[in-house]
Structure 1
């Protein structure tokens, strides 16, 4: 898609600003709070799971999952019963309805969607069958868009693990399309051209690149699933200024461009359509939207853009933001002491601005000391930092202290084996560990991953017992997703944040806003 620069008059521009200002304030009343679950009723065009009387079925087979998948779940994962969220989401997905899903982190949303997509019959609608039969391009029937390559490769690993005892051609079942090294990208493109998969999992940028530069077609698409949709769409906030609103309108996100392309291709529409125009599409794929922080405004967005005009809304969050099994702690770091963040901050209290960064030795020392105190209870841990921190350098600092730190890299190279597909495991993502010696007090199986904030979306690393957040998160939503890497599937978890003294009020606003109970860390004043 080419972008054409146009000159407009001041009168036209002012009208454009006014129209879009009204539009976004009507349909996109986004605040940080809007991004989170609320107890507001569903819109008139939505049907809740309770309204449809979806029964609680305690086995995958009766939910409609293929028998081969049920057998693989028992043998390879020792899973026999679906989670409550999976019980609700699988039937409407298999019935072909548009579905919006909201539940707490770690509830099995993504895995349930993947199982449902793999159980769908691989057919093309009658209205598209003539077009598809005459085409020589690959036909993708199910597309799952995810926010990061880590999550894409993890989903691929799930599927490979499920079918590891079979001789099924995995490229016909699942393929991944993400930005990585050139050799892997070329392999991805070659596989897509040779054998279209039942399920394609990818990031929006890479998928859009394949569409624009390599002719990838979606004219036979049955289902479009968006995991962590609020992160993929990123609508502007309620208090965003006019400049940001207009900039967001002029520069849509890759996921939006991809969705527009898919709808246009399915309807054989080569005309560029303005977002301000209401368009009705005769043909559209089934749309599945999922996020722990799926808000009402985002649901309006999918209706407004004809992606999910009459969806089933499955809300399992019950007004909660974080699983009750997670304990939250926050420590403030100054040049000479460490304290628990007070549960209330006086309006007259003066915050001292610290002149050191989040990766300063004072911050690192505090994290190291806490990890040593928790080492007997840590199974696997993960340290989150903001995008400005150099993760490899930070890993080296932790190693010098004898912490078994490994980089959870967003640019790791997957392996291409003799069957021609990439096979990955997060447990194998590590750099050279020969330059440090782990303290003997740590279990040989203990691993502390270090990752940037944006990788927290959807990723599921086994046995994460502790999450350490270095510095104040970029938003309350991101805190929610980072903390949600632990306490999954009803397990206990502990989250410990480390902030500078000047960040106390921001962090306290997050905690108050999320209605979280902040516990004092017993080893600190």
Structure 2
């Protein structure tokens, strides 16, 4: 096992103040897109000046609070305008657009502006308001991101109801029982209920009266490609059949919930689905054909053809009423900013990931600790003359002075060896100290221990913190801050995993670091992680740190050569992206 740190590596954070930070100008550009209707016909677009929140049917109290809560947000993007308009008109929506275009924020505004259902008599005879909207998200932090946005808008409403009656979050918490989770909902049913599918399914099974599905007017599935499993298109047809059988035998919680809600009109429902729905405990909330189905909204930055085919042709969840279903698809073609019209394929690909001017770097660390750009990386953009005059310390340089800022202390010593490649962690610490002006994010593989990574990075002098928007007030702050160009005295590195990163909007991020090749080189996983920078067309850097070819020990004891640089090169090539040299390691 390699050592955690070396005398050289502990100096990296000391370069933070004096290092050459090659900061990319952060361009604010309006994302352009087009709208496809149910038959994929491109609709006409209003003039850009016609995109305004006033032209939408947002409730006056929500609009006024938006201006106070988020003063930097002046106008909706075209995709937000179409999305909000469709939601408020009660249409079913399948939305796909690149990361960073404000899909989630637009959804929050639209749900807040939907009418609350009329009171009804609950099982005990008391009058109660229904839960209007059910918002399903893949993980806890994304649920609280929606909640914090709503909380901030609610704070600026002049005549406001109590926050619990407006929105509540239901996610798993080992410290609380299910009954304790249900108590606030029984006491005050929220207008918008946000949570993970498994938690919602647990509630339906344990106490259907707490979540009366027949009273819902809107159901939203965010990050739908992550929450609904489908059979991918594979060369091996037998493997496809095997996957389909597994899904049929064990459908995920999102499928079960949607089948339960939309079962009456699902003419193509499979027998296994009926048996699964009948297995839900408690009262059967399936409605008859005369009842109105709740509006269904599904959204993600990535929607593969096999998932779209299932959703549109096989699931039976979307309405078939003429004019009540719309597909909204963001597309950079013919709508690029003028300065991208004649640019390279790499520029087009990075814009498709959500931003303009995003640079993708791949650093390769050897087993001896050397750090180099991946072979074949293109030369980066020329640095400005004033930047060239700044010293650019190399890996063996000594710090000119001790930093005046304090580094996050390591609370206690850990004796167990680290599961992380020490040289890779040193490369991340060095790149962070040399290049990050304020806030960056490190994304680890889904099963990696976040706390141990934070510990290792703090030993290297990095101001590292686990990303937690629930318990950590700083994590909540990072969701709200809009000071894009600020330079911090002691920059922050937030640490999370692939599983808890999807959908999060951290506007001030300028850099995303990726440790290793995520998800065995899956394009969608890289796109979602890389999309944490470049929000609303801004620039940024995505830096993948991979180990040179090494032997991996498999579960059965066999050894397999893992060539991470080759995997990364293949992954980027699939997206039409050529990595750029990270100038500090030429």
TM-score by length of 2: 0.69
Structure-to-structure mapping, 1:2-401, within 5 angstroms: 45-46=38-39, 48=41, 50-51=42-43, 57-78=50-71, 79-123=73-117, 139-166=130-157, 167-183=160-176, 186-215=179-208, 216-239=211-234, 241=239, 242-264=241-263, 273-275=271-273, 283-303=292-312, 304-310=314-320, 311-318=325-332, 321-322=352-353, 323-336=355-368, 337-343=370-376, 359-375=420-436, 378-401=437-460
Count of aligned positions: 445
Preserved contact between residue 505 and residue 532 of structure 2 (Cα < 8 Å): yes
**In 2: Cα distance, 1:97 partner to 1:132 partner:** 31
Between 155-164 and 309-318, the greater mean CA deviation after superposition: 309-318
- 1:472 matched to 2:533? The reply is no
Match of 2:532 among 464, 485, 510: 485
CA distance change for structure 1 residues 299 and 54 in 2, over 3 Å: closer, same or farther? farther
Q: Could you tell me which residue of structure 2 aligns to residue 28 of structure 1?
A: none
The offset of 1:275, in angstroms, is 4.7
Structure 2 spans left out of the alignment, 5+ residues: 1-32, 276-285, 334-348, 379-416, 479-486, 549-562
1:71 Cα shift? 1.1
Specify whether residues 46 and 117 from structure 1 end up closer, same or farther in structure 2 by C-alpha distance, changes over 3 A only. Answer: farther
**Offset, 1:514:** 1.1
Aligned residue among 401, 406, 430 for 2:465: 406
1:268 Cα shift? 13
Residues 73, 80 of structure 1: 8 Å contact kept: no
* Cα distance in 2, alignment partners of residues 357 and 42 from structure 1: 50
Shift of 1:299: 2.3
SS in 1 for 2:213: coil
Q: Distance in 2 between matches of 1:521 and 1:496?
A: 8
Q: CA 1:209–1:55 in 2, change beyond 3 Å: closer, same or farther?
A: farther
**In structure 2, distance between residues paired with 1:268 and 1:476:** 32
| Cα distance in structure 1, aligned partners of 2:79 and 2:47 | 12
Which structure 1 segments of 5+ residues have no match?
A: 1-38, 346-355, 415-423, 430-441
Alpha-carbon contact 2:512-2:533 (below 8 Å) kept? yes
Alpha-carbon distance, 1:478 to partner:
0.8
For 1:130 and 1:46, locate their aligned partners in 2 and report how far apart those are by CA, in whole Å.
41
Q: Give the 3 Å change call, closer, same or farther, for CA 463–238 of structure 1 in structure 2.
A: same
Give 1:447 shift: 1.3
Which whole-Å CA distance do the structure 2 matches of 1:493 and 1:306 have between them?
A: 40
Offset of 1:272 from its aligned partner? 8.7
Counterpart CA distance in 1 for 2:525 and 2:258 is 25
1:515 aligns with 2:567: no
| TM-score normalized by the length of structure 1 | 0.77
Deviations 1:395-425 (A, max 9, x none): 0111111100001148x558xxxxxxxxx76
Cα distance between partner residues in 2 of 1:371 and 1:332: 15
- Structure 1 129/427 Cα, relative in aligned 2: closer, same or farther at 3 Å? closer
Compared CA separation, residues 222 and 198, structure 1 to 2 (3 A): same
Return the alpha-carbon distance in structure 2 between the equivalents of residues 389 and 97 of structure 1: 41
Deviation sequence 1:287-346 (CA, Å, 0-9, x none): 11111102333222222211114431111133664133311111122112222123489x
User: Any conservation in 2 of the 1:132–1:219 contact (CA below 8 Å)?
Assistant: no
Please give the alpha-carbon distance, in whole angstroms, between the structure 1 residues aligned to 2:490 and 2:111: 34
SS at 1:426's partner residue? helix
Determine the C-alpha separation between the residues in 1 that align with 2:523 and 2:99.
14
* Structure 2 SS opposite 1:382: strand
Deviation at 1:54, TM superposition (A): 6.5
Displacement after TM superposition at 1:284 (Å): 1.8
| Structure 1 residue 59, shift from structure 2 partner | 1.6
CA deviation after TM superposition for structure 1 residue 245, in Å: 2.6
